[in-house]
Homo-oligomer: A and B are copies of this chain.
Amino acid sequence: MRGVARLAVHPLRQLGRCCSNACIMLKLGGSVITKKREPMTANLKAIKRLAREIATASVEQLIIVHGGGSFGHPLAKQYKIIEGYRDPAQIEGFSKTHQAMLELNKLVVNTLISHNIPAFSVSPSSCVVTKAGRIQTLYDGALTRLLATGFVPVLFGDAVLDSDKGFAVLSGDQLIAALAIMFKAEKIIMGVDVNGLYPADPTTNAQLDLLPHITLKDLKILLNNIEEAKVTDVTGGMLGKISELIPAISAGIKTFIVNASKEDTVYKALEGKKVVGTIIEKE
């Protein structure tokens, strides 16, 4: 907690409006679009609402990455995919994890299409290889053409092949940061199930004030404090997720953490309107 006092906290400010053809990256958290405690169960109501919000917003170029929630995570955990390939029994689990993610992706893409969004499914495991869990190669041919043709590519956290450990889990967070850099994104909108970044876990302490604006330096201080204290992530895991975005933030891409479970938040964030959330930027 000591590190938090050193944060520069700014008042809420307007999220940057799209003013060029630059791409906006939107993450739809697994905890928003699935029912976390019910295996392989989508939150269809939330997916439909988000599709409506995305359809209403005027965004020229958009890439969507969604998380796994109750689809990918239980299988990835059961078969210890994150530990790499150690046992032939994992082979089936690796494929099943991807199939589960394709199932969730199908629901997201089909809902977006039915709301007249030109969504197109892209499988990360078909175009990414990691090395020790970090993206080593990412084929941009199809994505570049999809964007040029006017599609909204829809990717997801996936079980992927790894050149060091056989296979790995590629989180939607690592993927969205890499894509943001690759396509020189204007901003990243991280749609999660809390209002933004808090100095501690908001689900266990309701009295906390949201951090409306932090810099990369602030973020690194928070992360260092966690590491030095050898404690679990007191922000409820949010800081760990956001640490994946550091390469994109370092490249100057503004990142907004907003509550995608709340009506109109994603719409407003896409439109560059005022919205409750945490802005993280380089300086």
Chain multiplicity (copies): 2
Contact assessment for B129 and A126 in the assembled complex, using a CB-CB cutoff below 8 Å: no
Contact assessment for B126 and A127 in the assembled complex, using a CB-CB cutoff below 8 Å: yes
Chain B residues with Cβ below 8 Å from A98 are 120-121
Which of A106, A122, A161 neighbours the largest number of chain B CB atoms within 10 Å of its CB? A161
Contact assessment for A99 and B91 in the assembled complex, using a CB-CB cutoff below 8 Å: no
Shortest Cβ gap from A192 to chain B (Å): 26
Contact assessment for B142 and A163 in the assembled complex, using a CB-CB cutoff below 8 Å: no
Chain B residues with Cβ below 8 Å from A137 are 139, 141
Chain B residues with Cβ below 8 Å from A267 are none
- Answer yes or no: A272 CB below 8 A from chain B CBs: no
Contacts A149-B166, A161-B142, A161-B146 given; does A95 touch B123 at CB 8 Å: no
Q: Which of B92, B109, B116, B160 contacts A142 (CB 8 A)?
A: B160
Shortest Cβ gap from A61 to chain B (Å): 14
Contact assessment for B120 and A141 in the assembled complex, using a CB-CB cutoff below 8 Å: no
Contact assessment for A129 and B151 in the assembled complex, using a CB-CB cutoff below 8 Å: no
Chain B residues with Cβ below 8 Å from A127 are 126-127, 139, 141-142
CB contacts under 8 Å to B, within A64-105, are: 85, 88, 91-92, 94-96, 98-99, 102-103
Shortest Cβ gap from A18 to chain B (Å): 21
Shortest Cβ gap from A164 to chain B (Å): 11
- Answer yes or no: A128 CB below 8 A from chain B CBs: yes
CA distance A248 to B116 in the complex (A): 41
Shortest Cβ gap from A103 to chain B (Å): 8
- Answer yes or no: A145 CB below 8 A from chain B CBs: yes
Shortest Cβ gap from A159 to chain B (Å): 9
- Answer yes or no: A252 CB below 8 A from chain B CBs: no
CA distance A139 to B122 in the complex (A): 14
Chain B residues with Cβ below 8 Å from A116 are 92
CA distance A142 to B92 in the complex (A): 17
Contact assessment for B95 and A119 in the assembled complex, using a CB-CB cutoff below 8 Å: yes
Chain B residues with Cβ below 8 Å from A99 are 106, 109-110, 113, 121
Contact assessment for B123 and A149 in the assembled complex, using a CB-CB cutoff below 8 Å: no
CB contacts under 8 Å to B, within A146-172, are: 146, 149-151, 160-163, 166-167
CA distance A101 to B124 in the complex (A): 17
Contact assessment for A113 and B92 in the assembled complex, using a CB-CB cutoff below 8 Å: yes
Contact assessment for A126 and B122 in the assembled complex, using a CB-CB cutoff below 8 Å: yes
- Answer yes or no: A259 CB below 8 A from chain B CBs: no
- Answer yes or no: A195 CB below 8 A from chain B CBs: no
8 more CB-based (< 8 A) A-B contacts, given A129-B141, A149-B166: A85-B149, A88-B150, A124-B126, A127-B127, A127-B139, A129-B145, A139-B141, A142-B161
